[in-house]
Chains A and B, each alone.
Chain A
Amino acid sequence: MRTPLLLVARTLVTLCAASVLIFVLLRLVPGDPAQVALGVDATPELVQATRERFGLDRPLVVQYLEWMGGLLTGHFGTSFVSGQEMSAVVLDRTAVTLWLALPSIALALLIATVLGTWAALRRRSVDGLVITVGSQMLMAVPGFLAGVLLVLGLSLGLGWLPPSGWVVPADDPAAFLAHLVLPVLALTAVQAAILTRYVREAMLEVIGQDYIVEARSKGLTRGQALVRHGLRNAAVPVLTVTGVQLSALLVGAVVIESVFDVPGVGSLLVEAVAGRDMVSVQGIVMVLVLITVVLNLCVDLLHTVIDPRTRA
């Protein structure tokens, strides 16, 4: 039932359905896109000319197919508002967000694996409890509050790091890293708290398993047994959560981007929404949906690889 091929096919179906949904949803925007783009002072002739120039006077099906054709060849369309081809901008801004999201999730996973395992092993002692309670509390802190406090403390207070902004990595790697630290830290803190909880619970589950008992009977300490055999088995649920968190993070980073003034894809989306730049909104949403769907697919494939039973 769940062969990788079927999973990929389903993903494609989801993508197609999502693209139709996006296209239709954005056609529901009140008002004529050309009129919205040109503003209130535009003359009717100009609006009509713009409609024709952007092909808005043709049947919706044709417009949809053209949009899809453009997407497949890497052309997201020309913005009515800025007059720019959006593909390069959307992809580039997505790369910026990935720079925030990927290191954050990787770092969070690393921290969570250590702290979560520790908390599971020492669940009855004070330090285990501290980790558990701490992660519980940190989970409740909104990411942007963490960001604002980081700026106040590490940047404006101590002057260690720039409070906001972005440097292209190839231009100046050192400055790039300096600008990356605070936003990544803000994202990591919250994500690590969430993942720590999952690692801890997953580890608690494997602790009582037969093979751990067996390994211990061979002379390993509980910690050794857990690290050697438990981690691998706890990986499935934890990686599943990580996948979900990562896809949520791509959009969720928009708040952190706003705090740190990082030109990520989320802030591009918010700009496009404010300017009613529907060509851009459409393209950005499609890219984000694509990434989400692919991440979901990866998680599914992971299941079939790690857990052969699900391939039956």
Chain B
Amino acid sequence: MRRPQARPAAAAPEARRVRRPRSLSLWLGMALSALVVLTALVSLVWTPFDPVAADSSQRLLGTTGEHWLGTDKLGRDVLSILMAGSQVALLVGFVAVGIALLIGTPLGIMAAMRRGWVEELILRFSDLLLAFPALLLAIVFAAVFGAGTVSAMIAIGLGSVPGFARVARAATLRIMQQDYIAAARITGLNSWVIGVKHVLPNLAGLVLVQCTVTFSLAVLAEAALSYLGLGTPAPDPSWGRMLHESQQFLSLQPLLTLWPGLAIAITVLGLNLLGDGLRDRLGAGDPRG
């Protein structure tokens, strides 16, 4: 749905002169993200109820002592589904980020280090991917390979490749101008070695920031796709689908819509804050720092 950082990550004001300590962002972001990850881990082994066990006698209960967040139209415990839903959100995030990271970063570094036709080729490839917004790619993939979590993850991942390539390339270009790189070149170091030993470590901060940004976009995109019925299929719990299913009960049980919305918001907020905090803390805005 939104991809603000696809292009602007580097264009965003990195070399901010006025640097305000943002450790609050970092800590809050880490806390929220940790909460989500912890929930997902716990839900692997324990949820209050079986998140897929339907019980028609328990339909659409509001908050009760037994069901803290109530039950859905099949009588399933909302808290349990919510907890289990974090697995899909995180899975999609991790895989999409992984794909974008593993394809985009090497491409960006390569483009910056080899220049010439390699760079041109990579840039054109990146342009091509940029022509397909992630959500469009996901819908096309749903048509071609069938709708599901896997096509969604791959589509979101591929859609995020140009962002990583751009960040990596811009930063590598700057790193390559540094004295120690020139020195390393003079000593006859192989460019692979330079790339791995000198460029990558200096990139890590920026790329990590890009990871958190992409992660939060992936969570939102998965929710949007599931809302449209092109994402995670039933019965795997998914926040986006929960939102869609609960929509018709808005007038009866408004909270049913609120919970998955809140879960998505907390996850995305946590990741965004984490990204902001990391950018300041790691000095990612300035790879020389």
Report which A residues bind B (CB closer than 8 A).
10, 13-15, 17-18, 21-22, 25-26, 28-29, 123, 136-137, 139-145, 148, 152, 156, 190-191, 194, 198, 201-202, 204-205, 207-208, 236-237, 240-241, 243-245, 247-252, 254-255, 258, 269-270, 272-273, 276, 278, 281, 285, 288-289, 292-293, 296, 299
Contact = CB atoms under 8 A, between A and B. Distances in A.
A96 to B, nearest CB: 17
B8 A244 contact: yes
Interface residues of B, number: 54
Contact of A252 (B2, B216, B247): B2
A10 B120 CA distance: 10
B273 interface: yes
Interface string B137-173: 0011011110000000000000000000000000000
Contacts, number: 180
Most buried by A among B145, B227, B247, B268: B227
B8 A240 contact: yes
B11 A237 contact: yes
24 contacts: A10-B124, A14-B127, A15-B131, A17-B124, A17-B128, A123-B18, A140-B268, A142-B240, A145-B243, A145-B261, A145-B265, A190-B1, A202-B13, A204-B18, A248-B6, A252-B1, A252-B133, A254-B228, A270-B139, A272-B143, A273-B142, A281-B140, A292-B132, A299-B7
A208 B20 CA distance: 13
B1 A248 contact: yes
A258 B268 CA distance: 22
Given A142-B220, A142-B261, A201-B13, A137 B269 contact: yes
Contacts of B240: 142
A152 B131 contact: no
A201 B12 contact: yes
Given A143-B1, A296-B130, A255 B268 contact: no
Interface of B: 1-4, 6-8, 11-13, 15-18, 20, 124, 127-128, 130-136, 139-140, 142-145, 216, 220, 223-224, 227-228, 230, 240, 243, 247, 250-251, 254, 257, 261, 264-269, 272-273
A248 B15 CA distance: 27
B206 to A, nearest CB: 16
A293 B128 CA distance: 9
A152 to B, nearest CB: 6
A196 to B, nearest CB: 11
A247 B2 CA distance: 9
Given A26-B143, A201-B13, A205-B16, A137 B265 contact: yes
A13 B126 CA distance: 12
A204 to B, nearest CB: 5
Most buried by B among A191, A204, A240, A252: A252
B132 A252 contact: no
A194 B2 contact: yes
A236 B3 CA distance: 18
